[in-house]
Every structure is written in structure tokens, then in C-alpha cells.
Amino acid sequence: MIVIVEIIIEYSNDNFRKLFNIKIINMKKLLIALMSIFLLVGTISAQDSPKKMLKKASKNLSKYYQNPAENEAKLTEALELVKAAFESDEAKANPDAWNTKGKIYNELANAEVKASLLNPEYLIKYPDAAQTAYQSFSKGLELGTKKGHKKDALKGLEETIGHLINSAITTYNVKDYASAFSGYNYTLELHDLLKANDAKSPIVDDAQRQEYMFYGAVAGYYGDMKTDATPLFIELADAGYDHALIYEALFSIKSEARPEEALKYLEMGRTKYPDDTGLLFAEINYYLKAGQLEILTDKLKIAIEKEPNNVTVRNTLGNVYDQLYQSEDKAGNTAKSIEYFDLAYDYYNQALAIDDKNFDATYSLGALYYNKAASYTDKIKELSNDFSAAGTKKYDAMKAEMDSQFAKARPYFISAEQLNPADGNPLIALKEIYARANEFEKVAEYKAKIEALGK
């Protein structure tokens, strides 16, 4: 899965340092803060007009600006006042009211970012703050009749886009794909709005815009909003954005309703990214479903004839036969599974004959034996309940065969680890193999290696 670690902070370094200069509030100040919240009921009275409530909200917001750490309650009061004001049609028709609302929600979004930085366990209270700020300032811009209205709205929106990006990235990273999809879409909308009004946007060029569009599309894809994500993927494909997932996603989305169009995107992706595993397996699954595996294997054999020293093509054909082996093995077709196992083994070794330091072929040979060993697991579990002499004999024989396959996998994984120590997959496999062999010192060694990689 794709993870972004970027975060946009709207503060200078000095202001950022202030976030960590938190003073301990003594009991007296705490009581005063609590009393101010209780008294809030009295400040929003039935006699207050929307105009008066908005004026009070602006004053409270100004006090909050002066010292956010000490005046957090003022922001809460401002929020409640603006909510009350917007129960009237008078406020809804007032561009200043919308801009005030936008400023308050911008500060709420700001406060959430600060709180999250200080405490990773912080639970977001206003997840839609940035979106509400965007909608509010947009309305202020729409209703504005004076130059000042437009200026205030655009200034607020220039800040809001940073909050939208932060929200999109944060929700994406915690796999809240629905919120991330909305966040990225709002970001792109707001960018276009700012550009149309000659205002500043942190999205400096088409490349950055396409990057946000890509992550928005991915969020929609994984968030089960594939229909909404489709036009984004198509635009990215047409623009030549460089990522294999675009073609895998379009193939997946269009496979049922538009199989011919789906195949077009799959072929485009396979041509552009011949080494991508996701597209390879998508192609394998397509031809498996269509019953046209010969086309796939024939294509790869032709490619080998054209490029006899191409290690990737031989690895790919090995992968195809590997998948076929596993499929036939699960179906109980012993003869076919053995045939495909041998072919996979042969093509992986052909790749190593060309490049004996090739990680993919080395690891794949280990995985071939490892998966064969793992396929005995369910059968052994069934036999473990048979305590007859015949059952025990079968159990011992099958367990010995399983252990033998794990033993054959081990040297390939050790070589793979040496070829690429940063790849955690050989380490995970070796830890499991050593655990099954009761070599616990080795288990501890590989556990430490895995933890060191952060896996």
C-alpha cells in the first residue's frame, strides 16, 4: 500500500517551536476557563441578533489569535456563536458572516494539527473543519459585493488549502479512504478556484496537481468509490502519469462492464511496466478466467526468443507457471501441478544462469519450495486426528516431506537475504523455517533483523 509522510504546516519555525511551549494551567485559571464555558449559555441569548453574535464571535476569535494556548475557550465560544448566528437567514445572506465562519473553522483545523503533532494518540474532534472552512469561504466569495469580501475570502482559502491537504494525507495514512478521497477532491477544486482568482496555491505545477489527483484516485479505489475514482485514473493515464496502479485499477474497474476496454488498459500497463507484479497477476487472472493461458505463456516465450538474455521475461514466465502450479495443486490436479512446478523451477534457474545474483529468481525459487511445503499443512492437520497405526505412518511421512521442502527453500532465502538485506520477505520466511525446525536461536536472530527493518 502507498504511504505518504508529507505534512504542510502553516507556521514559521518560530511559531512551530511555540507549539511545544505549553504552560501548566493552575487551578484558578482552570476554574476561570470552565466558568467561561458555563457562562456561554448566557452570552448567546435569545435577544442577541445574528449581527451581534457574529460581532462577539469575531472578538473572541481575535482574543484567541493573541494567545491560543491561554484562550482556547475563546475559540469554542466563537464556534458556538457562529453556529447560533447561522440559524438565521440573515447570516446566510451575509458574506462577512461566511468569512467569519471560515476563519473559525480554519483555526479549528489548525488546532487539530497542533494537537496531533503534540500527541499522536489525539482523537480528532472536528474532522470536517477544513472542508467546512472551504465551503464557508467559497460562499463568502460567491456572495461578496465588496472588494474586501473577496480579499478576505481568498486570503482564508489560501490557508484552507493547506488544511485540506493535511486532512487528506492524515486520513489516507490511517486508511480512512472515504475521508481522504473527499479531502483530495476538495484540494483539487480549491486549487482551481484559487488559480481562477489569481490567488496563491501550494500546488505549484501540473506534476504536483497530478500527484494529489493520484492519491485521491487511489483513496477512491480502496475506499470502494471506484466509479468516482475512474475519471481521475483516466485523466492520469491520458496525462502519462507514471504509476502502474493506474492501469491495474482501470483494468479492475472496467473488467465486468467493459472487458475490451479493460484489456486495453491492461495491455498498456504491461507494455509500460513489464516488471510490475500487480499487472502481471492481473494479466494472469484475466487469461485464467478467459481460459487463454496459452496466449500468456506463448507471449512470454516469444519475448524470450526476441530477448534471450532478458532475465525479467524468464522470471515472469517462471511466475506464471508458479501461479499455475499453485492453482492446480489447490484443485487436487497432481499431475498438472507437478508439471507446472517443474516448469517454474526451470525458468527461475534459466534466469539465474544469465544472472546468478538476481534477487527475484533466487527468492522465487525459495518461495516455490516454501509454498509447496506450506501446502501440506492442512493435510497434516487432518492426519493429526488419526491415531491409528496407518494414520500415524501417513502423518510422519507427510511431515517429513513438508520439512524436506522447507529445508530446500532455506538456502535460496539465505542467498536472497545476502543479495538484498533490506528486503524483509526472505527474513520472514527464514524465521518461520527456523521456528518449524525448533532452531530458536536463529528465530531470535531473524526476529531482531525483521524488527530492525521495521517490518
Region 27-35: mean pLDDT is: 41
Question: What CATH code is assigned to 357-454?
Answer: 1.25.40
Cα dist. 442→359, 381, 429 in Å?
A: 22, 26, 12
Predicted confidence (pLDDT) at residue 26 exceeds the cutoff of 70: no
Q: Do residues 245 and 218 lie in contact, with contact meaning Cβ atoms separated by under 8 Å?
A: yes
Per-residue pLDDT tens over the stretch 356-405:
999 999 999 999 999 999 998 888 888 878 778 887 888 889 899 999 99
Q: Do residues 356 and 419 lie in contact, with contact meaning Cβ atoms separated by under 8 Å?
A: no
Calculate what percentage of the chain has a pLDDT beyond 90: 69
**Which one-letter DSSP state was computed for residue 48?**
-
What are the boundaries of each domain within the chain?
94-236, 357-454
Classify 6 in phi/psi space as left (phi over 0), alpha (psi -120 to 50) or beta. beta
Closest among 190, 265, 175 to 224, alpha carbons compared = 175
Closest among 168, 100, 97, 94 to 131, alpha carbons compared = 168
Cα dist. 266→121, 134, 245, 279, 390 in Å?
A: 41, 38, 10, 7, 51
Helix residue ranges per DSSP H, 273-333: 277-290, 293-306, 311-331
pLDDT at 32: 43
Question: What CATH code is assigned to 94-236?
Answer: 1.25.40
Residue 287, SS3?
Answer: helix
The whole model's pTM is what?
0.61
How much is the mean pLDDT over the chain?
87
pLDDT at 228: 96
Helix residue ranges per DSSP H, 355-423: 359-374, 377-383, 389-419
The answer to whether 94-236 and 357-454 have equal CATH topology is yes
How far is it, in rounded angstroms, from Cα 230 to Cα 437? 49
Per-residue pLDDT tens over the stretch 49-81:
888 999 999 999 999 999 988 898 999 999 999
How far is it, in rounded angstroms, from Cα 52 to Cα 46? 11
Per-residue pLDDT tens over the stretch 277-325:
789 888 888 887 887 887 888 888 988 988 899 999 999 999 999 989 9
Per-residue pLDDT tens over the stretch 413-429:
999 999 999 999 999 99
CA Rg value for the chain:
30
